[in-house]
Every structure is written in C-alpha cells, then in structure tokens.
Amino acid sequence: MANHLKRPLVQQLFLLTFVAAIVAVSAEPQLPYKIQQHSSSYPQPRDFPSEQLYHAYFAIQRFKNTITSDPKNVTSTWTGHDICATTSYLGFHCGAPHGQASNLTVTSVIFDGFGLCSPMQQDLVDELPDLAVFQASSNNFGGEVPILTGLSYLYMLDVHNKQGDQFEEAKSGTAATHLSQLCVGKNFCPGIRLRPILDPKHPAHGATSAKALLLNNNQLSAPLPANLGFSKVSYLALANNKLTGPIPPSVAHMQDSLVEMLLLNNQLSDCLPHELGMLTKTAVIDAGMNQLTGPIPSSFSCLSSVEQLNLGGNRLYGQVPDALCKLAGPAGRLTNLTLSGNYFTSVGPACSALIKDGVLDVKHNCIPGFANQRGPAECASFLSQPKTCPAASARVACPAADAKMNVAAPEGRVAKDYSSYVVYATLHE
C-alpha cells in the first residue's frame, strides 16, 4: 500500500459557512412514514425549531433502526428533539442559510470512526435534502455510494487553521488545497461553527458551492452509480472500498464542481473514460490500485488544474501521452504523475524529462530500455491479450477554458504535502 495510507490520522477541523440560498428546493422534505396520530408522545412539528428538523428527526430515527453495529454507542445520543445540540445526536451538524435563521437544518453528517454498520446510509442521505457534507470514513457501510443531489444552498468550506486561530477560506479550484485539517466528529471538534458571509451576492474570493462526500474505508461493494456525476460534489473520497465497474462517463458533469477525487484501492474496471479528461478544474484525481485498463485518453491533456494524478497499479497500456506530461510545464499544474505498475510501452520526450525530475513514476511497466520494468514474459503475456478499449485519438477538443481558473501556475511551484489535500487528509489507517 502507498505510504500515505499509513500516515497517522491528522486531527482535522472542518467548518462550513453558508453563503446564500441559490436554488429554491422544490422537493419538500419527505413526510414521515405512517404517523401514529393517536400517540400523544409522538413528536409534533412544534417540538422542533424548524420544519426541516422535524423531518430530519424521522429520517434519523429510521436510520437508527437499520444500524446493526454501534461499537461506540453513538446512537444512544440520538434521542430527544434537540438534533442540533452539541451533546446529543453526535455526528449531526446543523446550520441555516444566510438570512433564513428560522430554517435551521441538518447540513453535515460526520460519522468518522464511529464504526457504524448499516446497509441503509443511502436512505439517510436521500432524506436529508440540505446535506452538503457526508463524511463517514472507517465505518462498515456496505452497498452503494449515496449521492448528494440536493443543492439547496451555496456553501463555502472554511478550515480551522491548526497553527493559529484564523480561518482559511477554501475557494473552489486549487486554492482549496490549502485545507489542512478536516473535522472528524463533533466530539473532536467543539469548534464547529457557522460563519455567516454578509454579502451572499458576492461570496468572498470566488467561492462556489462546495459539497463533500467522504466515504473512505468502508465496505461499499456496488458499481459506482451511473449518475454519480450529477451529485456535483467538490470533494469525493471513496478510497479503500470494494467498488466495482467502470468510472461512469457522467463524471464529466462534475466539471464545474469537482476539486478532488479519490477512488484509490477499489476494484474499478473497464476502460479509462475519455470524460475524466473533462475535469478541467480538478486538482486531485487518484484512481490508483484498481483494474482499469486501456490507453490514457488524449483528453487527459485537458486536465489543466490537476496537481496529483495517480493511475498507478492498474492495467493501462500504450504510450504515455506527451501532452499529458506537458501539464507539468506552464500549461498546467501537475506536480506528481504516478503511472507505476501498469503496462505502458513508451513515453515521449516531455515525459522522459519528468521522469528525470522525479515528477513521473513509470516503474514496473513494460518500457524497453528503462530501469525497474516488468519482465519480458509478463509484458508479452499482457500485450498478447485482446484489447477492446478505444485507441487514443490524435486530436482532442478541451472544454472551454475558464479564464479565472487558468491563471498561470506559480513560478517554481513545489509539490504540496499530501495532507494539504482534503481527500488525502481524510484517509485513515
């Protein structure tokens, strides 16, 4: 396993700040199932600060009934009507959109390390329509990847700085990589609070909606949902699960939202999709340690914001596109391209230069004349198998560049520390 997976858990802090309501949610929160009208102790809307929390109460209680293992006895705090209190409902965090203080609602779920086991985490996510963060690393959730579909509010992620007491604003795009800490549960994070942004029409420094689905280290075993890309998340972390099937072409729809994506160490298969190359604002794409195959599509030369690109430990073959390696130059922001443990057979001049610089790792491939390659028999055996993925096309049309995002990369930039990326920082042992 890669070294960074074994890094001790950094204590992290995660602050959510609301900027503004941007879309009026048409979907009313679902009515609770089968209310027993005659029971006088049954919770009534007036027992809750908002209608949203009244509906959340039933969603949480239904979810609680599906939990089959709770080693830390967390769900014993999920009682009563005060969902937003610090001492009850551990794992649930509330907030209200700017200017709508009376609409307090559940905005983030952070179950990190609770060790909960339930096949139904998807239902919980579906029934909390204002959720912007679902972070449940190191639980035993099985089944499918839930999708954060609601985009009721515009959020901005703020991160508590370990060194001082300042807040760093996490802007969309690569600035978000300043994030160094991410909260791992209410019990570790007494500092979770909401910082209202006073001018919702002009969110500070180009902040955009930021949603996070962080589910590393679970037992998710289904194929990635075909509509994954419609969830418009900014941070997607699904490392160390048992996900199968292809990377869905719908990922292209996350083009304006996705900042970091971790698919490391699953059982994803099929051809590397052309659509991955459409993620022009994404700084981290890590699909290492899977069973992906095919050549690298030429669209990957459009990844002008990518800093960390890991496709190591797959079944990729062909030539490493030189246009991709050029993203380590002025055309892009690439600082680490890991392609080790595949079946590539050649690299061009720009890639050769990156290997010398230590930016590109092609160990354990099938490149003639290079050191540390697979044996000839192993290479011949792989290369003789039938190949069904589309050949990399010569020409590629990149999505229209967003001038704001494509400001020239800083001169003499250096590779950032792994823990400065949200998705890597959320990887636990």
Interface residues with ligand NAG (CB under 6 A)? 2-4, 73, 76, 100, 102-103, 286, 288, 310, 312, 336, 338, 415
C-alpha 32/C-alpha 269 separation (Å) is 39
Q: Which is nearer to ligand NAG, 359 or 389 (CB)?
A: 359
* Least CB distance to ligand NAG at residue 67 (A): 13
Contact 144, 120 (CB under 8 A): no
* Least CB distance to ligand NAG at residue 76 (A): 3
Identify the three-state secondary structure at position 168.
strand
Q: Which is nearer to ligand NAG, 113 or 253 (CB)?
A: 113
Amino acid letter, residue 334: L
* Least CB distance to ligand NAG at residue 394 (A): 29
Those residues with Cβ within 8 angstroms of residue 20's Cβ, 6 or more apart along the chain or in another chain: 97, 98, 99, 153, 154, 197, 200, 201, 203
Contact 109, 91 (CB under 8 A): yes
Q: Which is nearer to ligand NAG, 22 or 222 (CB)?
A: 22
* Least CB distance to ligand NAG at residue 304 (A): 19
* Least CB distance to ligand NAG at residue 198 (A): 17
Q: Which is nearer to ligand NAG, 53 or 210 (CB)?
A: 53
Q: Which is nearer to ligand NAG, 11 or 69 (CB)?
A: 69
Q: Which is nearer to ligand NAG, 253 or 333 (CB)?
A: 333
Other beta carbons within 10 angstroms of residue 412's beta carbon come to: 5
Q: Find, among 337, 341, 330, the residue nearest to 409 by Cα.
A: 330
Residue of minimal CB distance from ligand NAG? 76
* Least CB distance to ligand NAG at residue 141 (A): 21
Pairing of strands 15-21, 153-160: antiparallel
Those residues with Cβ within 8 angstroms of residue 118's Cβ, 6 or more apart along the chain or in another chain: 63, 66, 67, 68, 141
